[in-house]
Structure 1
């Protein structure tokens, strides 16, 4: 499984710096930066590396030794954000099974980071707001990877457009509506999103 990345964070850049020297202290500093980012994002902020350093009480120069940019810090704090695919090792060839696995991992991501995702959603809805780091369209890419075999079996299907439709049916936005307005519990909401997404896939494949 791809989720449950709640242990010691890592990134290629950070790993090369923390692997030598005072590794214990470096690991603590790295963890402090990661936890500061998670806390700031849960409060609705979209902080820079400098903001995170200030929150963690760590110098800006030191922070950039671990994470040269916000994307590398985000990937260390929430490793799924750096993944091209959520299919994991030995992915199935059947598209419905690939979608089912991707949905399960996407929902695990929502479970793990719900406060941060809700905060990013709120921030993105403010008038004139830009898109926070968690609103980068990564899930569309995950669904495109799940649907990839359709390029050979159903060339008439626009995989990108279908991935967008799936993302509209399964993500933080429908989850917030289903739990807040629809009155469903979390697991009921995930089940509803999964059912809707699989129905969309089956209709698209059957129609093609």
Structure 2
């Protein structure tokens, strides 16, 4: 989200500066180590600290902007059909792959999301985009499970996939990333099968 400072004056130049700060933060995250501060991103981008704070007043604001974003409303390929199992498998596979590809950024946001001082609207992990993607994949089941039932199943699926599950499966469970991805896909199908046998909890 742009600040009022960015929306006045030399907008194109300010957009470039903002993007340079975001790129620097992403590069620092990709290198590993401590979570980058606004000052560190500014130094990496050769931008003054004072200027950087005009764009990002806090570390959380910077990291939220640096988090991989997508405007996609669906994770499904064209012509996939109406089989819920096939649709769900494709959606989960794409979602998990995107998490693994941006794992360092995802882990950084996860650490911040666990901070009790973080408001729900501040970080991308709390916006629930994956739930909407899973609802889209499961939409053929609405006549059978109802829209509310599909939503509850999508919430359960999100609880079993994503960066939180990847961290546990790899760091605690000792799986490789490929093994973790296959486990999350298997779990998603198990949840779907159970939901078709026993309705999701109210």
Partner of 1:140 in structure 2? 131
Give the TM-score normalised by structure 1: 0.67
Instruction: State how far apart, in whole Å, the 2-side matches of 1:188 and 1:120 are.
Output: 23
User: Secondary structure of 1:158's match?
Assistant: helix
Larger CA deviation: 147-156 vs 195-204: 147-156
Give the TM-score normalised by structure 2: 0.69
Partner of 1:35 in structure 2? 23
Change (3 A) 1:92 1:37: farther
Change (3 A) 1:89 1:33: farther
Aligned residues of 1:46 and 1:133 also touching (Cα < 8 A): no
Show CA shifts across 1:49-71 (max 9, x none): xx9778634667xx8xxxxx98x
Show CA shifts across 1:134-168 (max 9, x none): 31321111111111111124338611111010001
Change (3 A) 1:113 1:186: same
Aligned residues of 2:160 and 2:187 also touching (Cα < 8 A): yes
User: Secondary structure of 1:90's match?
Assistant: coil
Change (3 A) 1:152 1:45: farther
Partner of 2:195 in structure 1? 204
Cα deviation for residue 36 of structure 1 reads 2.4
Partner of 1:104 in structure 2? 93
Matched, 1:113 2:102: yes
Q: Where in structure 2 are the equivalents of 1:11-30 lying within 5 Å?
A: none
Cα deviation for residue 31 of structure 1 reads 6.2
Aligned residues of 2:75 and 2:91 also touching (Cα < 8 A): yes
User: Secondary structure of 2:180's match?
Assistant: helix
Cα deviation for residue 86 of structure 1 reads 1.1
Aligned residues of 1:150 and 1:157 also touching (Cα < 8 A): no
Q: Where in structure 2 are the equivalents of 1:1-208 lying within 5 Å?
A: 32-39=20-27, 44=35, 56-57=45-46, 78-80=68-70, 82-131=71-120, 132-136=122-126, 137-155=128-146, 158-208=149-199
Note the aligned Cα RMSD (angstroms): 3.7
User: Secondary structure of 1:92's match?
Assistant: coil
Instruction: State how far apart, in whole Å, the 2-side matches of 1:46 and 1:146 are.
Output: 38
Q: Which runs of 5+ in 1 are unaligned?
A: 1-16, 19-24, 64-68
Instruction: State how far apart, in whole Å, the 2-side matches of 1:188 and 1:34 are.
Output: 32
Show CA shifts across 1:71-121 (max 9, x none): x966xx7343x2222113334311111110111111111121000001111
Q: Which runs of 5+ in 2 are unaligned?
A: 1-10, 56-60
